[in-house]
Each structure stands twice: as C-alpha cells, then as structure tokens.
C-alpha cells in the first residue's frame, strides 16, 4: 500500500508541475477491435510512433459487455452501461419490439427508442451533444452505424450545423450527394468480410468534406477494422494483420492532414479501440442447450415473452437471458443448471442468487436489464496461428466466425488507448488502469469543459496530462468470488476488479464446476 501511495504521489507531482494551455482540437480515432499486443513498429508504424511520442495506456479496458455498441456508447458518454442503458450490442427492448431482440445501433431502432423514451434512448448525453450545447462544433464519421450513437439528433443544413456520417449515410441528409460527389458511392460489402474500402471512404470524407471549412474542436473517426477481419479470420491471421496495417495507414493520413494544416502542434490525438478480441475455441448455441435441458428457450418471442419462457439473446462471448414474468421457479432452476455447465464462465443475476454476482458488480444493472447475464468460458491457450486468447461463443456450430469478443476474457477486456499532443506527457507508459469511460471526461477536460467532465462516471486521465487535472487519490485491487454447492459438486466464479479514484475497471472473470471425488468402498 505504501508503494502504491508513493507511486501515485510521484505521478501527480510530475503532472501538476507542468501545466499548459488547453489544445485547440481533439481528434479521436477508433480502431474497432484492436488489441494492444498487435501494436508493433512493423505492423503499426504510425501508432507505434505516436505511442512513443505520447502516452501508451498499458492497462486500458472496455466496459463489460466487451462489445462494440456498449463501448461506443461508453466512449461517447463516459457512463457505465447501467447509466447509458446500453449493456449489449443486441438487446431485448419490448417497448421497441416485443417479439424479438434488436440491434442497438440500427437507425430505425434508435429512432423508435427515442420515440418511446421521450428522447432518452441513451441515458446520458454524449460528448458531441455536450459540445453543441456549449456552442462548439464537431465532425463525426464512421464506417459503421455505431457512429450514430455519438450524435444521433436529426438536423437540417445551416450555419454552424455539425455533420455526422455513419456507414455511408449522413446528417443532415442533404450532405449525402456531396459525399458521393467527393468520394463516390459507399463501398459494397467485401466478399472476404473486410471493411478496408469502407474505412478508406470514410477517412476521405472526414478529411476532405467534413474538414473542408476547418477542423472543429472535436472530431471522431470510427474505423471498422480490424474487427471485421478478426471476426472472419481470427486475431493474428494474415487478413487481420493486413487490416491493422490499413487502419494504421488511415491514422497516417489524419496526422498528415493535421500537419498540412499547421494544426499538429495544437491537436491532441487519441487512438482507442472499443474492445479486445479472442479466437473462438468452442461454439455453443445457448438457446438449444437450454431447450434440450427442458427449458422453454427460444431466440424470438412471437406474441411477446410469456410467463416462464426463456429468451436467449446472443452477444458472442456473452448471452443475455430473459425469463417471462421473472418466474422465480424457472429462474432458480435455470441458474442452477447454468452453474453445472462446462461452457459457463460467470453468471450475473438481476435478483440475489447463490453463486452469482449481482448485475451491479459489472455496472450492467440498467432499468431494462435481463434476469441473467452469462459470460461464457474462456481459456488462456493459443490459436492455430499462435495468438493467445481462446473463448466460447454463443453461436450455432455452423457459424463461419473464427474470432469474437464480448466475454470477460482478459483478451476481450483489455483494449487499446494511445494519446499524443500538446496536453499529453511525452514518452510515457501509463501503468494505472483506465477504461473507455475515461475517454469522454478527458476530452471535455482538454476542451475546457471541466464541470461537464466531473459529471461523468469515468475519470479524467490526470496522470497522462501536462495540464492541471484532478488529483489521483486512490488505487485498489480486489478479487470477488462466489461459490455454490450443487448436485454433488462445487460451482465457483471470480471477478478481478481494479479501482482508481473510485472508478471501477473489470480485468477478467471466469468460473468452473467441479464434481467432488468419491471413494467407493472396497469389497473383500
């Protein structure tokens, strides 16, 4: 504890000793699915150089579920999933669709969500919305629809209107013909499931069209790679490494454009990923498994979810489970069954249940949270191409996916953050825990909106900054455990947790069921 105290004190003295004026611009690039262990001078020369010049965050985390829309929202709002209300990529929202799960990022779902919630589809405001409220402009461009979660308000063209481009579409809509004229049509899906052409188009649109009249105080570029290629071929494959090189080239274009405009010295650049990645070692169709075990399990609920029925919503390395009517008898039986299965890693429960963690331990206790959330089992082995990190995914055995995420594996729960610019320290490796929830408050702090930054769940990354920032006061590590004796065996699960200034970071979690050994009497 003394060592931790002196480490924090030393870091804070360095930070507070060299205050500087805030940057004029902040530019964020999201490399979807980028694992930090793939940052090398050979594969990512631009990112490796940026990390050497600025700050490499060695213990950066997504929020759980370690999935795109969850963390896209966390980056946008600085909020835990419970407060943003986005706890998964695919969710069951009966007010939006009572018969089946919905994709959180789908524009029609977003519009319906705002309609039924009085404009509060997200439970917290985004960085873009906050900046607009303070009269500051933004430019957001994404190869995927997740970008829309950052700035979803409908708008018409006019002076001072900030643009957003998401998967080839735009707000205001009148901007779309200009995009096509400048960059051509948005590229069609690739036959080998990569999105490099879409990333190139989106980058061109940001630099050439959205920045045409100047670089605004805040810009965000969301690249779809290497996520798409890692799903198709697994992390560390030749295709995924090619995709990483492609994203690095896009970073090079952004830095070159800032240099050309004479803005490099006044711009803080952050490169972050939404989550890590694993290779799929086992595919388990959770709905089928539960159905075979005698539960009324299904993937859709025609006519609505009836009392006692079990709706399973797959999110790759995790599954959301809803029980119609919150039937306690079904829930009790279902929880016990899950705790004896060799594909289950960690079980979170909405209601207290022996051998589980409450949803609140992972900050996924949103108002519409499921009855159970299951993180599937992960393993520390290596894939066929030598990449560490294997996990179980909720997929049909026929699914072509080779890589996936969204579990509590440390390979899913550790992602990338690199920052460089006038307000960030130079040549530093930050060994304190950080997370995607910290990105938004840090951006707002750098842009001078300190009161807004203080309202968020995440913290300002003070130890990485050269400007005055909130003091570092505490650092704690904790290992949570839960056990249950059941069916002649023992179910046990754990959750590794770190905290800085009271902000929680999940490192990993897993579990196992062990049958007690029995000794048969010797017959003479």
Q: What is the CATH number of the domain that holds 349?
A: 3.30.1360
| pLDDT score at 315 | 98
> Dihedral angle at the C-alpha atoms of 284, 286, 287, 289, nearest 10 degrees?
80
Mean pLDDT of the chain: 94
- Structurally, how many domains does the chain consist of? 3
Same domain for 443 and 503?
A: no
Same domain for 303 and 429?
A: no
Same domain for 193 and 231?
A: yes
Write out the residue range of the structural domain in which residue 486 sits: 475-515
Q: Per-residue pLDDT for 365 more than 80?
A: yes
Same domain for 262 and 293?
A: no
Q: Confidence class of residue 518 from pLDDT cuts 50, 70 and 90?
A: low
CA–CA separation, 153 vs 129, rounded Å? Answer: 9
Residue that terminates a domain, selected from 380, 401, 422: 401
Q: Per-residue pLDDT for 412 more than 70?
A: yes
Specify if 376 maps to a domain.
yes
Specify if 493 maps to a domain.
yes
Specify if 113 maps to a domain.
no
Same domain for 445 and 482?
A: no
Beta bridge partners of 222: 30, 142
Same domain for 56 and 186?
A: yes
Q: Per-residue pLDDT for 10 more than 90?
A: no
Beta bridge partners of 60: 434
Q: Per-residue pLDDT for 224 more than 90?
A: yes
Same domain for 337 and 453?
A: no
Q: Confidence class of residue 104 from pLDDT cuts 50, 70 and 90?
A: very high
Other C-beta atoms lying within 10 Å of the C-beta of residue 5: 11
Q: What token pair was written down for 23?
A: 């940057």
pTM for the full model?
A: 0.94
Share of the chain above pLDDT 70, in %: 94
How confident is the model over 367-402, as pLDDT tens digits?
Answer: 999 999 999 999 999 999 999 999 999 999 999 999
How remote is the C-alpha of 362 from its chain's centroid?
13
CA–CA separation, 109 vs 100, rounded Å? Answer: 12
Same domain for 459 and 482?
A: no
Q: Confidence class of residue 443 from pLDDT cuts 50, 70 and 90?
A: very high
Greatest CA span in the chain, whole angstroms?
96
Q: Per-residue pLDDT for 1 more than 90?
A: no
Specify if 262 maps to a domain.
yes
| pLDDT score at 23 | 55
Same domain for 312 and 450?
A: no
7-21, 298-312, 427-441: least confidently modelled range: 7-21
| pLDDT score at 392 | 98
How confident is the model over 179-203, as pLDDT tens digits?
Answer: 999 999 999 999 899 999 999 999 9
Q: Per-residue pLDDT for 408 more than 90?
A: yes
Which alpha helices (DSSP H) does 118-215 contain, by range?
Answer: 127-133, 176-183, 196-205
């Amino acid at each position: 504890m003394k060592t931790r105290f002196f480490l924090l004190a030393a870091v804070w003295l360095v930070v507070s000793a060299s205050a500087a004026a805030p940057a004029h611009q902040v530019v964020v690039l999201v490399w979807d699915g980028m694992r930090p262990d793939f940052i090398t001078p050979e594969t990512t020369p631009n990112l490796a150089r940026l990390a050497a010049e600025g700050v490499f965050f060695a213990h950066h985390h997504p929020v759980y579920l370690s999935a795109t829309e969850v963390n896209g929202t966390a980056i946008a709002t600085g909020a835990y999933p419970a407060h943003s209300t986005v706890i998964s990529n695919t969710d069951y929202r009966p007010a939006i669709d009572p018969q089946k799960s919905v994709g959180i990022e789908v524009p029609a779902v977003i519009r319906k969500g705002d309609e039924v919630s009085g404009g509060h589809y997200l439970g917290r405001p985004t960085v873009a919305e906050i900046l607009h409220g303070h009269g500051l402009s933004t430019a957001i461009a994404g190869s995927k629809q997740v970008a829309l979660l950052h700035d979803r308000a409908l708008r018409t063209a006019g002076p001072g209107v900030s643009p957003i481009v998401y998967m080839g579409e735009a707000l205001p809509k009148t901007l779309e013909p200009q995009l096509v004229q400048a960059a051509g049509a948005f590229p069609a899906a690739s036959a080998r499931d990569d999105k490099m052409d879409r990333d190139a188009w989106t980058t061109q649109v940001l630099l050439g069209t959205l920045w045409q009249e100047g670089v605004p105080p805040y810009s965000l570029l969301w690249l779809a790679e290497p996520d798409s290629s890692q799903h198709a071929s697994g992390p560390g494959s030749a295709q995924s490494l090619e995709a990483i090189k492609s994203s690095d080239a896009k970073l090079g274009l952004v830095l070159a454009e800032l240099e050309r405009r004479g803005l490099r010295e006044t711009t803080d650049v952050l490169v972050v990923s939404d989550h890590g990645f694993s290779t799929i070692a086992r595919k388990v169709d959770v709905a089928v498994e539960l159905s075979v075990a005698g539960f009324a399990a299904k993937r859709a609920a025609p006519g609505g979810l009836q009392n006692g029925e079990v709706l399973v919503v797959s999110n790759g390395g995790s599954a959301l489970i809803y029980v119609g009517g919150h039937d306690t008898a079904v829930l009790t039986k279902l929880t016990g069954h899950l705790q004896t299965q060799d594909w289950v890693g960690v079980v979170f429960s909405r209601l207290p249940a022996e051998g589980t963690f409450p949803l609140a331990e992972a900050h996924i206790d949103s108002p519409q949270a499921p009855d159970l959330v299951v993180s599937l089992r992960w393993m520390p082995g290596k894939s066929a191409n030598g990449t560490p990190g294997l996990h179980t995914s909720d997929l049909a055995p026929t699914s072509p996916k080779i890589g996936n995420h969204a579990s509590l594996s440390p390979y899913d729960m550790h992602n990338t953050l690199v920052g460089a610019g006038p307000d960030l320290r130079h040549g530093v490796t930050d060994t304190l825990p950080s997370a995607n929830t910290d990105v938004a408050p840090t951006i707002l702090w750098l842009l001078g909106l300190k009161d807004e930054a203080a309202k968020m769940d995440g913290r300002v990354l003070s130890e990485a900054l050269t400007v005055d920032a909130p003091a570092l006061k505490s650092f704690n590590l904790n290992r949570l455990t839960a056990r249950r004796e059941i069916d002649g065996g023992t179910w046990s699960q754990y959750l590794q947790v770190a905290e800085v200034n009271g902000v929680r970071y999940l490192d990993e979690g897993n579990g196992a069921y062990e049958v007690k050994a029995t000794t048969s009497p010797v017959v003479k």
